[in-house]
Amino acid sequence: MCCGDNSLSWKLLNHYKSMGPLKGKLEQRVVFRDISRGSEVYPIEVINEVDEEEFIMEFRYITKSCFRSGVDINTLVDTMQLCYCRDKCISRYCTCVMSSKCWYDLNGCLVSDFDFHGPPAIFECNKTCHCSKTCINRVVQRGLRIPLQLFRTLSRGWGVRTLRKIPKGSFVCEYVGELITGHEAIQRGDDTYFFDLESQTADYCLDGRFYGNIARFLNHSCEPNLIALKVFVEHQDLNFPRIAFFTLKEVQAYEELCFDYGIDFWIIKSQTVLCTCNSKQCRYSKDSIDATFETYLTEME
């Protein structure tokens, strides 16, 4: 039975029609086709369905970190650990496995007993090894293999999300940029895209401001689904690890990818910005940051 022109239902329908589309979520717009410009296996689109903000490419996309003067990496082959395997390094007698352990399973994920709370450094097979290029101890060096998307968040600028489900322990992407000394970092001043390598004997960091990749857009979360691990491939100089992000848990398609920036970051930044991850366990929001710092200071005593 149809409603009459003077019925309440008809009046309500006309009222909602006059309001136009609902506010708060715009039609999805592709504002940039591929920020990697073909350098990744999958194109990385930039999507905005929140506001009218456009995406400006203010950096050069690279897939491997570049080096500045003053950075001296020991790449001597005779100092590198290597194996003589003729297979995919699945034998327990593999030299690399015996000396530092292979932390990957047959699917290329971190092994089930991997310690995420006190993670070890990962040493992958390298150019001096005799094993197959498809051996199980070569993961990070193969690069990005998961389709990702850059998208506009509601309150945190641009963010990164996956376009498919990712199993726990999977490699997602690497943080790349300019490898610079601590002295140059001070001279540059803008630390927005710095990633401290936390070397014990020297002070170096990666700066993704001018040269970088998708990882420069990863946001912080107090309940992260990614963890940053130190990985060595081309060399085994402990001062210069590669920074690789792995999943802490299974991640669903279209879920944002985030990692914990750490308390040192918030000690510096909390004077001007607070966390907006909206997690129930948020430690750096207006209501929780003082308690977080008090606990930290108590533990340091």
pLDDT tens digits for range 172-224: 999 999 999 888 999 998 999 999 998 777 789 999 999 999 999 999 999 99
pLDDT in tens, 291-300: 999 999 988 8
Please determine, for residue 67, whether its predicted confidence score (pLDDT) is greater than 90: no
Q: CA-to-CA distance for 125 and 132, rounded, in angstroms?
A: 10
Enter the DSSP assignment of 117. S
Confidence grade of residue 16 (pLDDT, cut at 50, 70, 90): very low
Q: What spatial distance separates the first Cα and last Cα of the chain, rounded to whole Å? A: 76
Is residue 187 a contact partner of residue 69, using CB atoms and an 8 Å limit? no
d(CA 282, CA 220): 11
The pair of structure tokens assigned to 134 is 């498809």
Residues facing 29 on adjacent strands: 48
Residue 184 in tokens: 């140059």
pLDDT tens digit sequence for 252-278: 999 999 999 999 999 988 988 999 998
Distance CA 88, CA 94 (A): 10
Closest CA to 110 of 230, 251, 228, 246: 246
Do residues 260 and 220 touch, judged by C-beta distance below 8 A?
Answer: yes
Split at pLDDT 50, 70, 90, the class of 78 is low
3-state secondary structure of 87: coil
Instruction: Express each pLDDT in 217-255 by its tens digit.
Output: 999 999 999 999 999 998 888 889 999 999 999 999 999
Higher pLDDT, 72 or 171: 171
Q: What is this structure's pTM?
A: 0.88
Q: Are strands 148-152 and 46-48 parallel, antiparallel or unpaired?
A: parallel
Q: Which are the contacts of 133, defined by CB distance < 8 A and separation ≥ 6?
A: none
Structure tokens belonging to residue 244: 């690789």
Is residue 125 predicted with pLDDT exceeding 80?
yes
Reported confidence tier of residue 23, pLDDT bands at 50, 70, 90: very low
Distance CA 98, CA 95 (A): 5
Q: Residue 35 corresponds to which tokens in the numbers above?
A: 């920020």
Cβ atoms 99, 55 nearer than 8 A: no
Least confident range from 77-86, 142-151, 231-240: namely 77-86
Cα–Cα distance for residue pair 187/182, rounded to 1 Å? 9
In this structure, are residues 128 and 159 in contact, taking their beta carbons and an 8 Å threshold? no
CB within 8 A of 7, min separation 6: which ones? none
- The pLDDT of residue 74: 78
Domains (range + CATH), the chain: 25-260 (2.170.270.10)
Burial class of 93 by CB neighbour count within 10 A (0 to 12, 13 to 18, 19+): exposed
